Structure 1
Amino acid sequence: MILDIGYRMSDNSRLLRRLFDERVRDLGLTAAQARLLLSLNRHPGENQAFHAERLEVEPITLTRIIDRMEEAGWVERKADPADRRARILHLTDKSRGTVEGLRQIVEAMFEEVLTGLDDGERRHLAGMLERIGANLAAAREVELVNG
């Protein structure tokens, strides 16, 4: 049963990411660009290294993504007052409107994904996912300490 849960979580994650990729393409964004915009909206004032970690990409990969997005007017970099080597990423006026469109896409997508679950089941699922996330974070901390 444990392996079955693991396979289901992994498959569902893959399918969800694929569905997201397909939906954001209509906005003229790659999935990585869309995820970066959503991350910038959710975590304003953070540097590139923070967002690379959140998006699970190498810093150099994120730098290339940001280069293209900055050139297109989607994001801007500003010096980090706490670290002269680091850059803080910011949304632009152009991208703020797009973020609202992304949020609507995500909300509609999850309404589809959660079809058939009532409010109580959704709250219960959210609670279980919160606990799973905490367990994963704790396991990762142990790996970082021991690794």
Structure 2
Amino acid sequence: MTDLIWTRGVEWLAAAAPDPKECKRQWDHGDGIALLEAGRFWDVVSVPDQLGLLTLDLLWRPSLPIPGPTLVDTAAHRVGFLLPPDPGSRWIGAGLRHASKGSWVAVPPPYRSARYLEWLIPPDGTGSLHAPTTLELALRQANGTLSVLAPLCGQ
């Protein structure tokens, strides 16, 4: 069953590439990273890693659906959440980046990490993504928690 999930995840993610076969070749025989265009099948909201990891923790609640694909960049210290494309959305916040139509995102294959990129929650091929409203509420809650903890930690 896991092989089927990986295969579906690979096909779904590679479909965002201009040439899906070349994308899969880069994952398997290149440096393991492919550049994929955001805005067609998904957008990415990227936040500092501390905020992103706390947000992801808040999204793992029994009352919520399983969180969507989530990527971590350990070199840039950022966490990226894949969500439905929305050209009219305006994600605003300190340290927040929104990759949409015209933006390119470096991603490893769903089945392994590549250099500094790793899937915390890999795509499963179903097309499930983070719900924007749920993600926004979790980001706000995590940001509030971090702002309370910062003075206690001397930051």
- TM, length-normalised to structure 2: 0.32
Which structure has greater strand proportion?
A: 2
Q: Which has the higher contact order (CA 8 A, sep 6+)?
A: 2
- TM, length-normalised to structure 1: 0.33
